[in-house]
A and B are shown apart, each in its own frame.
Chain A
Amino acid sequence: MSIVSCQHLDKKYKKQYALKDLTIELEENRIIGLIGRNGAGKTTLLKTLAGQIVPTGGEVKVFGENPFNNLKLSANTIYVDDQMQFSLEMRIHEILVAAEMFYENWNRELADRLIYYFGVDRYDFHDQLSKGMASTFNAILGLASRCPLTIFDEPTTGMDYSVRQDFYRALLKDYIAHPRTIIVSSHLLNELESILEEIVLIKNGKCILHESIEDFKEYAIGLSGDKNVIQSIVDHDVIIHEKELSESQVYIAVDNHLSEKDITGLKQQGVQMTSVEAADLSMFLTNDTRGGIDDVFKSS
């Protein structure tokens, strides 16, 4: 069953579009990664799904209903990011009491164990926590609430490496025990890759790709070899990424739709074929820069 459906979604802030003609369908009980560069529209999309933002155009349905101002959606969704603003007058243990009151599936034991494990002081106020600790606490809230739609918007901001790894592991374990729809956004795929089932790439407010992670890993291949040889065989339209290795040598990542004939031709000409790492591919596809960083330093 489709839990999230966006049709031609637009969101405009003054003159700039944060989302433009975005169409996407998300199935229930998956872990989905939403990957895009800063400013690609990830937060706007996620906040729209969480009912916090009204789109300027198009249609959005979550659990089959319009999410804005919707009590049913609010009861079944939690949106976690590093900007969560808790009451300045509540201590951590009071926030946990409130969370238990509001969320039907709240698991106190899990919350307590995670709080203990990560060393969050229950008597601190939320704004007294360090950036990393605040993110950790927010993530714990997201996990323990066990909402049918759990949204983590860049949840690991400020967390150190080992905490990030622990968080992703906790997320995966809890998801396996209690399957639900979890959307995790990030500008990088690297650390997320191992826990995701699906990946959605977003660029300039549009969904440019939505694949299962297995298909995504096969999505492209890398070719390195003579520039002229590759360019003569490979159609320019399928090039995802291009990097000059030397005057004559080049590395090109292309759509994995080359014909047998092209592949044989390339191999005969000494072009090396390698798989493209999913993390690299997501970076190539969402890249918004012109050329490579090396081009900036090239003397004209």
Chain B
Amino acid sequence: MDTLVQIKNLSKTYESIDGKVNAIKDVTFDIYKNEFLTIIGSSGCGKSTILNILDQLDKEYQGTIEFTEDINIGYMLQEDALFEWLTVEENALLGLKILKKLNDETRKYTISLLDKYGLKDFKDKYPKSLSGGMRQRVALIRTLATKPKILLMDEPFSALDYQTRLQVSDDVYRIIKQEGMTVVMVSHDLAESISVSDRIIVLSKRPATIKNIYKIELSNKSTPIENRKAKEFAYYYDILWKDLDKNV
């Protein structure tokens, strides 16, 4: 498999009022092309910090991150963070606009994504008239419009109710696969992680270190909802749960 990113001995400490806090310690892993990689761990263990570092939002860390090619990274946050005063189309174009990459071609591409993923009739509407799932799709398209090679997702469905969440994760998974993305997702939902991922990294409690990396091999791999029915599902759930449980 082609390696896109090599992360070596990544550590992060930050100062707080109670002294130095070790958030991440000696984390080493690779990101392969076209894979869906999920990082799980208990809350507050520094999962999001790894994404922030990968996207260079956080530049104070030790260790090395090597990109094998010039890679454009997209980042999808926990909340959709749509701007209420912009229309759906303007929201979708926001990233391009700020990156100063908005031209006829990228605009056309973004609109085609909106059309393709069920937002055709909502382009001139404001976010308040969208359902939670639709908002999440707009947020995803806003990121995809910038044509990232790697998509980082920080618990992208956590703001949704369970029913919507299943549907949206199916939607998003389909879009990601169709657009041929490499994904690094952070989550604390085991079932969701197993249902979408090719590999799962389990982090320990703070300071976060890598406990295990699992390759998820499900028979008849298809959509996330279908994957939950695979016979290996319970097996992975069990070992992941035990991995996490020991840390609590």
Are A and B genuine complex partners? no
B interface residue numbers (CB < 8 A to A): none
A interface residue numbers (CB < 8 A to B): none
